Amino acid sequence: MPGAQVRTPESVEEVRTALADHDYLADEGLATAVFLALTLQRPLLLEGEAGVGKTEVAKVLARWTGGELLRLQCYEGIDVSQAVYEWDWSRQLLHLRTAEATGAVAAGTDALEDELWSERFLVRRPLLAAIDHREGPPPVLLVDEVDRADDEFEAFLLEILSDYSVTVPELGTFRAAVPPIVVITSNRTRDVHDALKRRCLYHWVEHPDFEREVAVVRLRVPAAGETLARQVAAMVEQVRELGLYKPPGVAESIDWAQALAALGRTELDAAAVQATLGTVLKYREDQERVRGRGVDELVRAAVSRAT
Amino acid sequence: MPPDGAALAVAFAGVLRGTGVDVPVGSVVAFSEALAATGVANRDHVYWAGRATLVHRPEDAPAYDAAFAAFWERRPQTLALGSRPEPVRVTLAIDDALGDDAGSGSEPEPAGPTLTVRYSPAEVLRHKDFAAYSPGELAEARRLMADLRLGGALRRSRRRRPARRGAHGRPDLRRTLRRALRAGGEPVRPSRSAPGERARRVVLLVDISGSMEPYARALLRFAHAAVVGRTRVEVFTLGTRLTRLTRELSSRDPDAALAAAGAAATDWSGGTRLGEALRRFNDEWGVRGMARGAVVVILSDGWDRGEPEHLAEQMRRLARVAHRVVWVNPLKASPGYQPLARGMAAALPYVDDFVEGHSLDSLERLARVIARSRRYPHGA
């Protein structure tokens, strides 16, 4: 799909349709936020429970616009060499050795230094790759789980996102001709800094309502029939109300429907739930709580909710 | 678009600010741009354009909804508007009401006029029980407390630092190459790097039930000094509910910070449901990442109105993710103290360090315990 007209969608409705065409069912709020992010060329900060499909937004944007997906997974202690760029030291060292062996060193260290600090030996990490992008549709930069990185990294990210440029001391400044589409996600284990939030458009991603969850499961797991999809969505909706440590997200609904479909089930029953509970609940205590509530009863309620 | 989008945006931002939401000018500009992009014809588009640009945390959504209804739909929302409570000034005077259920050995002194000449007040204060402080002494203690420095135990970080010569560590090609260039291309001496160290996050969970109040206020001072001192500290209060105070405590002025904290936690001197408050902490913050690898400090006397099994279960969850769990019990200083409170007994198996915290001196010791890197086996 050509990128040019995708860049500035005409309306929120167009965004919603396009996302749906690429297998992502967005609600009005998310579609508006994405529309604004594309129109105003601002980063989009998505917060919400794990498994509500935050990361998926970046992936679907990449599929839609045809831009390359550049993913930066954040973690504590992440720094410039993993996020922006790094020099390929071992190759530089080898180059130096070769120069030495062929007697090029004698020609002058200045020339040799210029050669060593050239783009040839520069390793582009996601942030630089997103800025220094040359042809085709602009890439989609996914900064995943930014709450895991430290504050210093956030300040650094803010600097890059405010003017879409990166300076490599040895080479000069890279500036984005067309800014990348930026999606930042956070699980909110700590608050993202206000300055970064101000730079971004913000959207809190909720668990989908029942009908949308059914639609998502149908879309992502074609092998599961309508009945199974509805029953799985109804069951997950109930389980979320049980006060679990980790309430299942849409991702778990999809996994569960997949597992049940793989087992050849077309309907939910207590035995199937018992056998596949591990795909939905990843804590022993949570599984115990669900079993304690009575799987039979939950299944009965889900089946009647689904019809 | 007949009405001016920018003027509308500014006017609406004013209403939103009135509900207590912090709306920076940059966000108003973004909102006005967003309105230009979506138009103002469709209610939902205007609503979500505002949500995406003006609201930056889910807690502000109800205030936003109220402001939106009042401004765009002309439905006055008297209830939610101005729902943020007026800042209540927290005075540090002790109101003598050392909880009825305290059953402690710390005797509250009447805070009557005392006109004694004190020699070296600092030394006297250091060992005095917080519950027995007069207001003047608390002011004095506040100054001393500002000197306390809190830093989490060190852990290895991914960021590497140069290692000394001959030390172990991975070869550092970058530095080797830089040196080689200086030596005319000969990598004479290989450089090495080793993992750096950085302080772990410290999470303070402060019980603010009636029996704990004097100590809780003192510890919040302590927490404030740490938050302002740029240490990675998170502060919550445990009472009938869970309140996060990190933001409120980040103001430089200690009185303003404590006033904000006092206003944010509305359940001062209520009962305690420790297990329930801990569960909320685990669910919403702790197990999701905040307590992982952190030093978690719980200040409480362990009097819990809930089921001890519930508390034990939540302590178990916490202990599984935390680097260390420190329990500070001011009553521990009383002679002949036994952890008889049901909650305390239930929690103790999951506590790495059990310390007292009734005086400045003991808070200093607490700061040392927090900074210690060695991990103690459970039940120590």
B362/B368 Cα distance (integer angstroms): 10
A306/A217 Cα distance (integer angstroms): 13
3-state helix, strand, coil in chain B (%, to 5): 45, 10, 40
SS (H, E, C) chain A: CCCHHHHCCCCHHHHHHHHHHCCCCCCHHHHHHHHHHHHHCCCEEEEECCCCCHHHHHHHHHHHHCCCEEEEECCCCCCHHHHCEEECHHHHHHHHHHHHHCCHHHHCHHHHHHHHCCHHHEEECHHHHHHCCCCCCCCEEEEECHHHCCHHHHHHHHHHHHHCEEEECCCEEEECCCCCEEEEEECCCCCCCHHHHHHCEEEEECCCCHHHHHHHHHHHCCCCCHHHHHHHHHHHHHHHCCCCCCCCCHHHHHHHHHHHHHCCCCCCCHHHHHHHHHHCCCCHHHHHHHHHHCHHHHHHHHHHHHC
Contacts of B56 in chain A (CB under 8 A): 194, 197-198, 202
Each residue of B188-214: pLDDT tens digit? 667 777 777 677 888 999 888 877 877
Q: What is the model's pLDDT at position B99? A: 36
| Interchain contact A41–B (C-beta under 8 A) | no
Is the pLDDT assigned to residue B166 strictly greater than 80? no
How many C-beta atoms lie closer than 10 Å to residue B138's C-beta? 21
> Model confidence at B101, in pLDDT bands (50, 70, 90)?
very low
Report which of residues B213 and B81 the model is more confident about: B213
Which chain A residue's Cα is nearest to B234?
A190
Is the pLDDT assigned to residue B172 strictly greater than 80? no
Residues B161 and B118: beta-carbon distance below 8 Å: no
Residues B277 and B242: beta-carbon distance below 8 Å: yes
Residue B289 and residue A187: Cβ atoms within 8 Å? yes
A129/B81 Cα distance (integer angstroms): 46
Each residue of A102-145: pLDDT tens digit? 876 666 677 788 888 889 999 999 999 999 988 889 999 999 99
At a CB cut-off of 8 Å and minimum separation 6, what does A277 contact?
A287, A290, A291
**For helices B308-321 and B274-281, what crossing angle results, to 10°?**
30
Residue B158 and residue A35: Cβ atoms within 8 Å? no
Residue B38 and residue A36: Cβ atoms within 8 Å? yes
Segment A35-50 mean pLDDT: 93
Residue A201 and residue B173: Cβ atoms within 8 Å? no
Average pLDDT, chain B: 73
A116/B174 Cα distance (integer angstroms): 12
Q: What is the model's pLDDT at position A143? A: 96
Q: What is the model's pLDDT at position B362? A: 78
B289/B296 Cα distance (integer angstroms): 12
> Model confidence at B148, in pLDDT bands (50, 70, 90)?
low
Tally the residues of chain B.
380
Q: What is the pTM of this model?
A: 0.71
Where do the structural domains in chain B lie, given as residue ranges? 5-72, 90-153+200-380, 161-198
Segment B307-328 mean pLDDT: 89
Q: What is the model's pLDDT at position A36? A: 95
B203/B350 Cα distance (integer angstroms): 16
Residue B52 and residue A92: Cβ atoms within 8 Å? no
Each residue of B45-61: pLDDT tens digit? 999 999 999 998 888 89
Q: What is the model's pLDDT at position B376? A: 41
The least confident of A122-131, B36-45, B137-146 is B137-146
Segment B98-127 mean pLDDT: 40
Q: What is the model's pLDDT at position B90? A: 30
A33/A45 Cα distance (integer angstroms): 9
Write out the two tokens for B280. 């909320």
ipTM field: 0.80
Q: Does domain B90-153+200-380 have CATH number 3.40.50.410?
A: yes
**Which of B33, B44, B186 is nearest residue A28 as measured by Cβ atoms?**
B44
Q: What is the model's pLDDT at position A105? A: 64
Segment A170-186 mean pLDDT: 93
Report which of residues B252 and A62 the model is more confident about: A62
Size of interface A-B (CB pairs under 8 A): 116
Residue A198 and residue B56: Cβ atoms within 8 Å? yes
Q: What is the model's pLDDT at position A100? A: 79
Residues A232 and A257: beta-carbon distance below 8 Å: yes
Beta bridge partners of A181: A140
Tally the residues of chain A.
307
Q: Where are the alpha helices (DSSP H) in B94-197?
A: 121-127, 135-145, 173-182
> Model confidence at B149, in pLDDT bands (50, 70, 90)?
low
A49/B125 Cα distance (integer angstroms): 47
Segment A259-273 mean pLDDT: 92
The least confident of A1-5, B136-140, B243-247 is A1-5
A254/A249 Cα distance (integer angstroms): 9
> Model confidence at B97, in pLDDT bands (50, 70, 90)?
very low
Q: What is the model's pLDDT at position B293? A: 84
